[in-house]
Structure 1
Amino acid sequence: MMATLEHTNFTVRDPKATAAWMHDVFGWKTRWEGAAMAGGYTVHVGSAHTYLALYAPNAPKPSAESTYNTVGGLNHVGVLVEDIDATETRVRAAGFEPHNHADYEPGRRFYFDDDNGIEFEVVAYD
């Protein structure tokens, strides 16, 4: 069996708020939520097989570093969708501004930054 990415965990300001826009934009569901390490809170949002673990410590601190210049940094999260135009409409409705649109073989893509400074790449293949 080939290995499959099961989840990724990253820190956000408000896991419930981040999960809410992910429900609306990507159609994902909350799989689990509850108390987490160091007095924090976590929400697992995604599908039955893969998810993002959204963790907030008791006192989150913003980072001013560019992740593209930091070894081990999270550069972006790629999300595959069926209807890229409808997804872009939902991204805008959630208050995010799409950028860096491109058509390429074999599909189309755009990016947006969420309110945590996390960049998402949205991709649809032809």
Structure 2
Amino acid sequence: MTPQRIQWFIALVFFILGGWATFFPQHVIDTVFLPEYRMEGRILPFMMACFGAQALLAGLFAAFSKFTSTTFLVYGIALLPFFGFNYYFTIHDPVFTTMGLIDALGNIIMLALCYAGWKKSRIAE
């Protein structure tokens, strides 16, 4: 698999999860938030859709930028704090249901792809 294809798979994670949040924000809220955090009103779906739109934008950057081995390495390192976020808000001080760990799954996939992209890019460079 080429580094560019690996980038596209990273982008795909953003497109899938970001698209879900952008186009179906209430479904995301109902699926990943514990009932006590599902407040009524328009602000939470609005914020979820904004979050999804940001993820779609990140997917576009991942898809159309030129990644080097350093890009894959730094991106992989930048993902690490998100695992702490997932742990904290799912296990330690729950806000998310266990389905909220779909975000962690996406991060695991992207971390593995960053490792693969880093290795492939180092060979190519």
TM-score w.r.t. length of structure 1: 0.30
Higher strand proportion, which one?
1
Q: Which has the larger radius of gyration?
A: 2
Higher helix proportion, which one?
2
TM-score w.r.t. length of structure 2: 0.30
Relative contact order (alpha carbons < 8 A, sep ≥ 6): 1 or 2 greater?
A: 2
